[in-house]
Amino acid sequence: MLEIRNLHVAVDGKEILKGIDLAVGRGEVHALMGPNGSGKSTLAYVLAGREGYEVTKGEVLYQGRNLLDLAPEERAREGVFLGFQYPVEIPGVAAMNFLKAAVNAVRKHRGEDELDAIDFLKLVRDKAKALKMDGELLKRPLNVGFSGGEKKRNEILQMAMIDPRLAVLDETDSGLDIDALKIVAAGVNALRGPERAILLITHYQRLLNYIVPDRVHVLVDGRIVKSGGKKLALEVDDQGYEPFTAGEKAA
Amino acid sequence: MGKDKSIAASYARQFAEVEGALPGRGLAWLDALRANAIERFAELDFPTPKLESWKFTNLRPLTREVFAPSPATRNGLGKGDVARWLADDLPCHLMVFVDGHFRADLSELGALPRGARVASLAETLAGDPARLEAHLAGNDAIEGDAPVALNTALMADGAVIALDRGVALEKPVHLLYLATAATKPVAMHLRNLVVAEPGSSATLIETYAAPRGGRYWTNAVTDIVVARDAQIRHFKLQNESVDAFHLAATRARLAKGSGYDSFYASFGARLSRNEIATRLDGEGADCRLSGVYLARGRQHVDNTTVIDHREPGSVSKEHYKGVLDGDAHGVFQGKIIVRPGAQKTDAHQLNKNLLLSKTAQADTKPELEIHADDVKCSHGAAVGELDAEALFYLRSRGLDPAHAQRMLVEAFIGEVIDGIGTPALRSHLGRLVAAWLSEAED
């Protein structure tokens, strides 16, 4: 599904990612863990196509195609979804209208009929209910005045509505209390399936108690220093990133 | 100056040629008023950017040639050309003007309540001129810049709306000015007068449009008298041909306890300047000015407002937003005056501009002249670009850049549009904004 090969990325001339190799297969859930400043969010943004990130070396293949050639909206329509660490507040754009435009842009690209107002509302209501989201929230301007937890739930709602093939979730757990974390995790787990791949980016192991990954990678200073099974996350939780950082320095 | 001077002289000659055919000819007060005005026009000449109040707007494109008074025409415009400019679900007293002349056949005035009169300027001058004298020939009538003076000299038609004490006009009066493509450049010197006696209220809608485009000059002056405790809501849509010139001066005087609520939307014209000058003459008067201006290509759009607080306890709120694309140039000049003794004045002004291209330009000039010490006044001005993060967020969900931009522009403008009290007008304007935005993708 996703194949990242020797990816080097610079921001303002400074190299942040220093040769990432990562393959996430169909049906798999991978966790990418790392300390602050290790390049986790940079990788997420590069995958989504944000401006200002210069790929200096390497490639990213998505379903066998060169992902980096596609504009952000093309990636989204092809099934790539980025759950933002900090969802953007957009005054004046009602969350519901935005969601409808997004869903229909993706559906249109897939050759599906656009949802009419009634079908759309029904779908939103069902999905929002599963995430224990207040429907009134969606009448408000997008993310404006949403609490941290509401913003993250809104990201997961968008993901559920858009139905992506590859979901990259950037610190979706940050700022969530335990109840919200469980709800969000259930939302992500509902999306797990043989046709989809998920890349969870997180600082802490906590989320991985609820979304159990197939593989765990540790990112330090722009490089993946260790990969392993779900137990690797416990190791990180137990020892912190220090041993991995030291290993990096020694190398 | 040589060339400009000759233009002014040309208009003076034009006046001499046409004055005999102007409406109200033979009314001594009016003949004198017109004669004074053309003299004043010749003295003033067209303003240039050397004048502080015209610093950002150069009328040179308008003054390269002489615009002849627009003749009354019987052209092929029909009800269909009219209908598209009307708001859905909003019955109105409709007055249609084609090329600056009232057209009874296209208008639908309907029944007016007792004590309300709505008629054209030309017919009022013919049948009931005494009603106009005090308002047109008052000292203020020839104040203002050269275009206003020229309007006074050459005014040919417009609307006269008079409300007796306590009369509430339920349905809005819609003045629809349609210009047809003339073979030579013509000018329409429109003069409107609204007199709202104490305790009366009405909504006035003005729409300027050109179904077939064309190069012409609309020069409109609207005087509004809002007597004690009267309320006037004024909604103006400027959708002129993109080759046209639109100069308009609206002058409103507010008595004690009265309200004037103005909304202006500018979409059209090669060059436009919409001036609104309000005088809050009475205690507790309430003045709201809001507007949106959208321009692209080589359009120049100027919004110049003056709010003059003269008595204690009056309120003004002003909010204008501009969206500028291409090589367009937007101007906002907002002057707020608080006279000595106008204590407890509450005045707030905000102007924000969104530039959609590297070559678009916005000039914003708030100007506060405060001569009283116990007042609340604030102003804010901003010029910015679309938020790149917001744009990326929308695109990352599958929206193409044009769609994402449209959504953000609508949101930006929406902040002002949402303040329109009448739902039918709000959605009418929403449609016009959406139409303007979708033109970009043609």
Each residue of A9-44: pLDDT tens digit? 999 999 999 999 999 999 999 999 998 889 999 999
Contacts (Cβ under 8 Å, ≥6 apart) of A125:
A135
Q: What is the pLDDT of residues A213-251, one digit of tens each?
A: 999 999 999 999 999 999 998 888 888 888 887 655 444
Residue B356 · residue B328 · CB < 8 Å = no
d(CA A106, CA A220) in angstroms, rounded, equals: 35
Q: How big is the CA angle at B380 (ends B378 and B385), to the nearest 5 degrees?
A: 165
Question: For chain A, give me the number of helices (H) and strands (E)?
Answer: 8, 12
Look at residue A205 in the predicted model and tell me its pLDDT: 86
- The four Cα atoms A7, A12, A16, A18 give a dihedral, to 10 degrees, of 40
Characterize the bridge pairing of strands B159-163 and B116-120: antiparallel
Of how many residues is chain B composed?
442
CB contact under 8 A, A158 and B401: no
Q: Helix B2-18 and helix B28-44: axis angle, to 10°?
A: 170
Looking at CA atoms only, how far is residue B31 from chain A in angstroms? 53
* Contact yes or no for B412/B286 (Cβ under 8 A): no
Angle (CA) A125-A128-A133 rounded to 5° is: 125
* DSSP per-residue string spanning A190-219: HH-STT-EEEEEESSSGGGGTS--SEEEEE
Q: What is the CA radius of gyration of chain B?
A: 21
Question: Which residue among A88, A97, A109 places its CB closest to the CB of B389?
Answer: A88
Q: How far apart are CA A15 and CA A55, in angstroms?
A: 9
A178 in reach of chain B (CB within 8 A) = no
B363 CB neighbour count, 10 Å cutoff: 16
Q: Which residues of B touch A49 (CB under 8 A)?
A: 395-396
Residues of B in Cβ contact (< 8 Å) with A75: 396
Say what the pLDDT of residue B4 is: 47
Q: How far apart are CA A123 and CA B301, in angstroms?
A: 45
Q: Report the gap between the CA of A90 and the closest CA in chain B (Å).
A: 7
Within 8 A of A82 by CB-CB distance, chain B residues are: 396
What is the spatial distance between Cα B119 and Cα B102, in angstroms, rounded to a whole number? 9
> What is the topology classification, in CATH, of domain A2-250?
Rossmann fold (3.40.50)
Q: Could you say which DSSP state residue B238 is in?
A: E
Rounded-to-10 torsion of CA B111, B115, B116, B121: 120
Contacts of B389 in chain A (CB under 8 A): 88
Domain ranges of chain A: 2-250
Strands B159-163, B186-196: pairing is parallel
Q: How high does pLDDT run on average in chain A?
A: 92
Classify the phi-psi angles of A118: left when phi > 0, otherwise alpha if psi is within -120 to 50, otherwise beta. alpha
For chain B, which ranges sit under pLDDT 70?
Answer: 1-5, 138-143, 441-442
- What is the separation of C-alpha B345 from the centre of its chain, rounded to a whole number of angstroms? 25
The pLDDT, as a whole number, for residue B143 is 62
| A48-94 pLDDT tens trace | 999 999 999 999 999 999 999 999 999 999 999 999 999 999 999 99
B157 DSSP assignment: B
Residues 6 or more apart whose CB falls under 8 angstroms from that of A193 comprise A27
Enumerate chain B positions whose Cβ falls within 8 A of a Cβ in A.
Answer: 387-390, 392-401, 403-404, 407-408, 410-412, 414-415
Are B397 and A98 within 8 A, CB to CB?
yes
DSSP string, A91-115: EEEEHHHHHHHHHHHHHHHTTPPPP
Distance CA B385, CA B363 (A): 14
Name the residue among B8, B101, B41, B67 with its Cα closest to residue B243. Answer: B67
Contacts of B56 (CB under 8 A, 6+ apart): B49, B302, B329, B331, B333, B363, B365
Selecting from B390, B398, B400 the residue whose C-beta is nearest the C-beta of A88 gives B390
Among A73, A74, A110, which would you mutate to test the B interface (most chain B Cβ atoms within 10 Å of its Cβ)?
Answer: A73
Question: A82 in contact with B at a CB cutoff of 8 Å?
Answer: yes
| Residue A51: closest C-alpha in chain B | B392
pLDDT score of B441 = 56
Token couple for B54: 């015209």
Number of other residues whose CB lies within 10 A of the CB of residue B110:
11
Which of B153-179 are b and which e, b meaning 16 or more Cβ less than 10 Å from the residue's Cβ? bbbbbbbbbbbbeebebebbbbbbbbb
Identify residue B340 by its one-letter amino acid code: P
Res. A99 pLDDT band, cuts 50 70 90: very high
What sign has the CA pseudo-torsion B107, B113, B114, B117?
negative
Rounded CA separation B333/B232 (Å)? 23
Q: How far is CA B125 from each of CA B132, B245, B269, B289, B343, rounded to the nearest angstrom?
A: 8, 27, 30, 31, 41
Task: Give B102: exposed, middle or buried? Use CB within 10 Å, 0-12, 13-18, 19+.
Answer: buried
For residue B220, the tally of other CB atoms under 10 A from its CB is 27
In degrees, rounded to 5, the angle at the alpha carbon of residue B91 between the alpha carbons of residues B86 and B93 is: 85
Strand partners, B191: B221
Helix (H, G, I), strand (E, B) or coil at A244: helix
B13 burial (CB, 10 Å; 0-12 / 13-18 / 19+) is exposed
* Chain A nearest-CA residue for B409: A92
Q: What is the ipTM of this complex?
A: 0.95
Find, in chain A, the residue whose alpha carbon is nearest to that of B406.
A93
Model pLDDT, residue A251: 40
Sign, CA torsion A159/A164/A165/A166: negative
CB A224 within 8 A of CB A217: yes
Contact state of A73 with B390 under an 8 Å Cβ cutoff: no
Report chain A residues whose CB lies below 8 A from the CB of B323. none
Q: Give the per-residue pLDDT at B85.
A: 93
**Does A96 touch chain B if contact means CB atoms closer than 8 Å?**
no
Partners of A90 on chain B (C-beta within 8 Å) are: 387, 390, 393-394, 408, 411
Identify the burial level of A65 via C-beta atoms within 10 angstroms of its C-beta, where 0-12 means exposed, 13-18 middle and 19 or more buried: exposed
**Residues on chain A touching B387 (C-beta within 8 angstroms):** 88, 90
Cβ within 8 Å, pair A92-B414 = yes
| DSSP 8-class letter at B95 | E
Task: Provide the greatest CA pair distance for chain B.
Answer: 70
> How far is residue B301 from each of residues B195, B205, B246, B322, B324, measured CA to CA in Å?
29, 20, 9, 9, 9
Closest residue in B to A73 (Cα–Cα): B398
